[in-house]
Structure 1
């Protein structure tokens, strides 16, 4: 063939080859496009609605404070305090960006560079049998935490990516960061940076140092694994990685970086002094608020609750009730040990259910040696001590009569290595301290130990007030023409109570009778017969009407024995009614 023909033939063949290559490339792009379209179409069908994030408000803890501002209780499904983006300091934001997503303010929801880097690194990690790393952006984590599950599947990752793009179009970067920092779990039961700052450092986020912010930013990846209370070395190593990233991202200088690396992790757990002493009070607050506002508002609404509780009164009331019940119980002697674990080497765990409030300072202990004038014990904390004979005089028994080797008992430390025997009171009680002019409940204790019994004997226990009711009968008498010097007969009497009911024959304590006595004497000496005669004269209907007005009883039985306090009421109601004697007859409503 001529040379020109050969050149033409070569060009023709080249054109055909290029045409084929172009068709292959176009076909590949078409297949890729169709594949991507199908994937997006399949995974976009059942995506959750992300638009609620525009106005989303996370569940926030409701916190209860005493009259002086002391924190006493928290009601929450998740321990969280919401902080708007504007109030979050730069060092906290920079720390989380360096730990989780340094390109957050640049990418459209997915970080292409991060994904590429993760693919390369994961290939190397796979060959070296190392742990694979993720490439989720903060936006993707918001999509996962709010809208998806934690399952590790390609399906979830595709949905996460699609949602990330859509969230970025609907929300500002600041709003996405705000949602993320308030939602994430950071260990120790704390959700969000504000709660975590209090939990680990007992300070608000605006007072966090860089090394503290870096520690918090180190936690989202694995809160349990990096828990600084349990694994301080691992947590510090992870924190230092965040500090290194802060330096690489030019948020801190080389001098700052070197200085921060030297700093140890200094934790300061949040101190709540009154939690145990106020359990009964705060539980009553919870019941009241739950009835008034409902469950969701109480546990998710972030209520700030100020109570009239006086911490000093509360501590002293708890102390007084416990001491009084103990003294009463000791007068009735020793009832026996809690259990026997003579051959149980792991007895500590088997008696964990016997532990009481720390405020009692009681310990569960095991008798390990017995002598005539002392016994050796081992406490739940594996501390060895002695109980001397003079501390058990109240039992009126010897050590041999009281114990056997291996017996489990309660003890309280007197001084170094010296302990005294303790016994849980069988009887129980309650205390209410109230301002009689305002009704503010300054202190309320519902029992000896909240750990053993949550039943509140101040507000839930209906008991007969007995002679404590008599002053109301005498007050009614004064309103109906009696004077303190009015004579009333103190003599035996028998009354009919109604059809098919037995005759009622009230008696004085001691079964003695004193003849005509003044109204004042009847009140001072708490004379039953005089009280009943006053009630007969005043009239049962007036007594019942008064008890309803003062909210002592709701619907008491119409029997004259009510004058001696046989109907049932609560201590809180009775205390409120007594306030009328102090404030000039004005009815008050308890305020908690």
Structure 2
């Protein structure tokens, strides 16, 4: 038997290194390695250059679009908005379903199917970009709605392949972060659609002057064409192009099953139905007031989001102001009527502005000036050219009209100024409809300011700073520094009352001179219009008759340091201690003077005048005033029937309450017997004071009732002589025109006296107490009146010659007070 052969030795398996070496020798392995290396390098470069620099998609979760600041009046009605972008934010549920379908048909029909990127569309865009590279032409977009959100909100509108890549990556990430409805909500709220409208709600107002939910199918389809380029489909300049594109969107809606053929046929036959571009309806409301509010908000919150999240133009603030639109209209009308009355008979004031015309294009130059008028039926028109014996005029809305020669004559001192012959093309003038054409109107060259304030709170209810805010942006109510003339006297005499004088104190109305040194010599004061001196009279009489000599004599007696300190505390101004300050030589504003009078009416308690009641951010949080606290129990459902909670008063006592009431009581006499008797027939308790500066260059009136105080001045911006007018004959009648309607229907409230005031009957000329027969209480010219005194300052009965030197106690009256007198004393808190 043969023996078995030994087994053949087995070859050991190749080691790992050997296997890798053999594999590396194959060409395809080397190719794969190179590709992997290139992919790694590409990914690294992509991460370094693109992905790492991408903004976080989480920003979209908390994204808040720029929203305008909405301003409301004292009654909550909208009066203005501040915005560089007109936008109204809506939720997805508020969008009409047909609107969403129209935008999908126009922009991204597969929106609810893709995950942020439409790859066939993107590939087509890449091919188109390559074909147009270097030609200067722009390639088609190929962007989905999600990509447009990424572009508009996160990365910008740079035209490059890199931006397209970043846009696609971000779109994919957005789809992972937000729902389709959230993406559409962002898109439809922020998309720019022309006419300064951002978002579909703002566009509905801009193009159709309607709410979004009031638009029909063809109007919704028109909005959907605008993202491609609002200027390309402007309904005024390119109506045919816009109509063709709108009908294309309607056809796409049919093709995608969004609407029926019958709906398409009806909508396809409809006209565009757009309106001309319009400004907001409330743009002319309280022009000077809302501009002052805008300036204050910008000072506090800034203009844009870079300055503050609650910025004026992007923060979406809700502002409640103290503007009373009824009082504002009355104040504006009264001031304007007064300015026009003054200008009547002084000739045409000239064109509002002149612009250069470019051929037949006159409308755009006119619109660029932003000139408009809201006085009665006046309109601003531009002179286009001559047509026979008339000028052709153009208006902002595109209409034209004729200004004949006979309607362009401006009377001046009984003659006719040939204004017609001075006109030239490009002049912007004021006209009003007359017959079949227009007649020339003259915007006053003289101007002024008017303010109305609520004394109890310091809230400014109305403010008119000139004839028209769109013609004259300078706000004379708060910016014009003018000499107040005799309206300063009640404040000056208040300093005397605080330093020991009474309304019955005797002051000599006679020559008064002061020595100014060897170089300047003597300075002698005089009464207004060189009125003769009246001799010794009461302080009351001096204020009622506005006597300058009595005022400077009193100021010298009181001491100018005390007097200017009182003016500073009352917010009128910080003046040097010169005697001329007592006659109104220091400059101040209408607002400051009205606020000082309001302090008197408010029993000496002062407020900073305010235009804004409160400000809320877009989420409803109150951000102004800064110390605002919720008022628990103030809402009607929480009311238990008890007294409503009221915040603690934080008012500064600027001057003594009794001093303030004494001056209010005295200035009631100015209306009853003094320089403001034109207001007496209003038949209600009213205080006030007129003022006329040297020249006169300005005329003033300030006064009112416990409900509100109003004040105004009238004068040229560059002071010059106004001619034969005075505060009592010109400014007070302007206030009366306002007051007749402003106080209509309001209660006739008396000015309330503070505790401690003593009411004593005196002779208003001599200041002596009067006992015996009671005067007729309805006779404003009576020599015997009730006067207000502080405790222990009232005058006593004059002693007869030979009486003891000790003061005599006031005897009982010889005639009992009538019931009406007793009611007056009880109401005023005084004594007999």
How do 1:367-386 and structure 2 match up within 5 A? 368=386, 376-381=390-395, 382-386=400-404
Are 1:549 and 2:563 an aligned pair?
A: no
Larger mean CA deviation between 333-342 and 80-89 belongs to 333-342
Larger mean CA deviation between 166-175 and 221-230 belongs to 166-175
Distance in 1 of aligned mates of 2:349 and 2:373? 23
How do 1:245-284 and structure 2 match up within 5 A? 245-267=252-274, 272-284=280-292
- Structure 2 counterpart SS, 1:489: strand
Are 1:136 and 2:156 an aligned pair?
A: no
Distance in 1 of aligned mates of 2:355 and 2:250? 52
Larger mean CA deviation between 378-387 and 462-471 belongs to 378-387
- Structure 1 counterpart SS, 2:412: helix
Q: 2:547 aligns with which of 517, 527, 534?
A: 527
Shift of 1:389: 7.7
CA contact (8 A) 2:407 2:438 kept: no
Distance in 2 of aligned mates of 1:118 and 1:580? 71
- Structure 2 counterpart SS, 1:224: helix
How do 1:240-389 and structure 2 match up within 5 A? 240-267=247-274, 272-296=280-304, 297-333=311-347, 352=366, 356-359=371-374, 360-365=378-383, 368=386, 376-381=390-395, 382-388=400-406
**Residues 147, 497 of structure 1: alpha-carbon distance in 2 compared, 3 angstrom cutoff:** farther
Shift of 1:208: 4.0
Shift of 1:574: 1.0
Tell me which residue corresponds to 1:109. 116
TM-score w.r.t. length of structure 2? 0.60
Which string of whole-angstrom CA distances, capped at 9 and with x for unpartnered residues, describes residues 425-451 of structure 1? 333211112233333322212122433
- Structure 1 counterpart SS, 2:451: strand
Tell me which residue corresponds to 1:72. 79
Are 1:212 and 2:232 an aligned pair?
A: no
**Residues 131, 344 of structure 1: alpha-carbon distance in 2 compared, 3 angstrom cutoff:** closer
Distance in 1 of aligned mates of 2:96 and 2:353? 55
CA contact (8 A) 2:432 2:440 kept: no
Tell me which residue corresponds to 2:469. 450
Shift of 1:230: 3.7
CA contact (8 A) 2:72 2:78 kept: yes
**Residues 119, 293 of structure 1: alpha-carbon distance in 2 compared, 3 angstrom cutoff:** closer
Distance in 1 of aligned mates of 2:508 and 2:204? 72
Shift of 1:546: 2.4
Q: 1:172 aligns with which of 175, 179, 183?
A: 179
Larger mean CA deviation between 80-89 and 30-39 belongs to 30-39
CA contact (8 A) 1:355 1:364 kept: no
Shift of 1:220: 0.5
TM-score w.r.t. length of structure 1? 0.82
Distance in 2 of aligned mates of 1:106 and 1:409? 58
Q: 2:56 aligns with which of 18, 31, 50?
A: 50
Tell me which residue corresponds to 1:538. 558
- Unaligned 5+ runs, structure 1: 1-22
CA contact (8 A) 2:347 2:411 kept: no
CA contact (8 A) 1:71 1:272 kept: no
Which string of whole-angstrom CA distances, capped at 9 and with x for unpartnered residues, describes residues 226-285 of structure 1? 123443332232222222323333333333333333333333566633413532211110
Are 1:578 and 2:601 an aligned pair?
A: no
Distance in 2 of aligned mates of 1:401 and 1:209? 51
Shift of 1:289: 1.0
Distance in 1 of aligned mates of 2:440 and 2:227? 47
Shift of 1:301: 0.8
Who wins on radius of gyration, i.e. which is larger?
2
Distance in 1 of aligned mates of 2:37 and 2:254? 43
Tell me which residue corresponds to 2:634. none
Tell me which residue corresponds to 1:221. 228
Distance in 2 of aligned mates of 1:58 and 1:36? 39
Question: How many matched pairs?
Answer: 562
CA contact (8 A) 1:218 1:242 kept: yes
- Structure 2 counterpart SS, 1:505: strand
Shift of 1:502: 6.1
- Structure number with the bigger relative contact order (C-alpha 8 A, sep ≥ 6) is 1
Larger mean CA deviation between 402-411 and 106-115 belongs to 402-411
How do 1:363-442 and structure 2 match up within 5 A? 363-365=381-383, 368=386, 376-381=390-395, 382-388=400-406, 392-394=410-412, 396-398=414-416, 403=421, 406=424, 410-417=429-436, 419-442=438-461
Distance in 2 of aligned mates of 1:25 and 1:105? 42
- Structure 2 counterpart SS, 1:285: helix
CA contact (8 A) 2:407 2:439 kept: no
Which string of whole-angstrom CA distances, capped at 9 and with x for unpartnered residues, describes residues 340-394 of structure 1? 9999976958984877323242434478489xxxx63332455223243896333
- Structure 1 counterpart SS, 2:222: helix
**Residues 232, 389 of structure 1: alpha-carbon distance in 2 compared, 3 angstrom cutoff:** closer
**Residues 362, 524 of structure 1: alpha-carbon distance in 2 compared, 3 angstrom cutoff:** farther
Shift of 1:489: 0.6
Are 1:510 and 2:529 an aligned pair?
A: yes
Distance in 2 of aligned mates of 1:197 and 1:350? 24
Distance in 1 of aligned mates of 2:589 and 2:97? 54
Larger mean CA deviation between 294-303 and 142-151 belongs to 142-151
**Residues 70, 501 of structure 1: alpha-carbon distance in 2 compared, 3 angstrom cutoff:** farther
Shift of 1:216: 1.7
Shift of 1:185: 0.5
- Structure 2 counterpart SS, 1:74: strand
Shift of 1:85: 3.4
Shift of 1:414: 4.3
Q: 1:154 aligns with which of 144, 154, 161?
A: 161
Shift of 1:139: 1.6
Shift of 1:544: 2.5
Shift of 1:313: 2.9
